[in-house]
Amino acid sequence: MSNPFGTVSPAAILEGDATDAYFERTRATLEHAGKNPRVVAEVTADQFPTGGFEVFTGVKDVATLFEGRAVDVDALPDGQLFDGGPVLRIEGPYLEFAELETSLLGFCSQPSGFATAALEARVAAPDSLVLSFGARHVHPSIASTVERASLLAGLDGFSHVAAGEILGREAGGTMPHALMFCFGEGNQAEAWTAFDEAVGEDVPRIALTDTFWDEKSESLLAADTLGDDLDGVRLDTTGSRRGDFRHIVREVRWELDARGREDVDIFCSGGLDPESIRTLRDVADGFGVGSHITGADSVDFSLDIVELDGEPVSKRGKLSGVKDVYRTSNGGHHVALADSDGPAGADSLLEPLVRDGEIVREFDLDAATDRCLEDAEAVGFGRTNAAD
């Protein structure tokens, strides 16, 4: 089989076959009627600011999707935060891009949801190590999308090996409970010793210490077993038996410190969300976040024609006319008609992405991460924001 997992091919996406059927019927109808108007279409989630910022990403894939099409595309920079109004604008003959709407929205909606959730985890513990552990919760074909969104939002690393090869980053991780089971209860020291002997020196010695006995006992055993080679312990206690997780972490920290092992870090994972991270960030050194990111709601983007042959148009409930969005000097988000003046001192956020089918922007993940974190600080992401 050429496609054993039944995933949609890149060729199908680029050729417009990865679409909803009614776009194919729209094309057939318009071609039959000899119509192909010049339109401006905008991608939006909310028409006006609501006070809740989200992260925009997926723009690199959108650029690839429109490459070679006779259209102009403007978009927010990768990693920019937004709150209402267009994040992307397309101008050109409608039949140049009609069938691309489905893929376009998919490229933006789910990755932006992942990135927004990852940013929530990042700001919950700004001074801690935070890693993405969620790739196992999504189809393997989009694992790199999850990990890229997590890096863009400022997370320090991720666990998925193939995603790392795509992104040019090295995946991280140490040991699962399965390794401990293979050695058996009472043989935890043997498992940790074998791990220490088997893996490269660049791999942190983080011992999983909650498999058979209580977290304190296994953590102290790991410290005795690996001595100064032990970098940290990981507590991944399942929620059904966790109890007061903060108390457990504090107890482990106390007992390690009482034995002069202040150098041993404590890393927590297993069903963590921003709220639980905030309760632990002063007693733990790092966190692995999975389902909070991969289970995030997609941003509910839609594409709407707002100008047809030079005249403003809209369906009910949407705003007609070509629009621009601005970051105001006080960190607000402002939506205005593109031919009007924006707020004094505000910066327009939409930038050229594609011009007559040619990609006119370069993409750099590190720069996008810096932009995301700086903009999160500017808009007060994670705090309640009043709509601008």
Q: pLDDT 10s digit of each residue in the chain, 388 long?
A: 578 899 999 999 999 999 999 999 999 999 999 999 999 999 999 999 998 999 999 999 999 999 999 999 999 999 999 999 999 999 999 999 999 999 999 999 999 999 999 999 999 999 999 999 999 999 999 999 999 999 999 999 999 999 999 999 999 999 999 999 999 999 999 999 999 999 999 999 999 999 999 999 999 999 999 999 999 999 996 665 567 899 999 999 999 999 999 999 999 999 999 999 999 999 999 999 999 999 999 999 999 999 999 999 999 989 999 999 999 989 999 999 999 988 998 999 999 999 999 999 999 999 999 999 999 999 999 864 333 3
Please give the model's pTM, rounded to 2 decimal places.
0.94
> Looking up tokens 């988000």, which residue turns up?
333
Fold designation for 124-294: TIM Barrel (3.20.20)
Q: How many CA atoms lie within 13 A of 281 on its CB side?
A: 16
Fold designation for 10-114+300-379: nicotinate phosphoribosyltransferase (3.20.140)
Angle at which helices 215-226 and 188-198 pack, to 10 degrees? 50
User: Is 10-114+300-379's fold the same as 124-294's?
Assistant: no
Sorted by where each begins, the domain ranges of the chain are 10-114+300-379, 124-294
Residue 38 to residue 209: CA distance in whole angstroms = 63
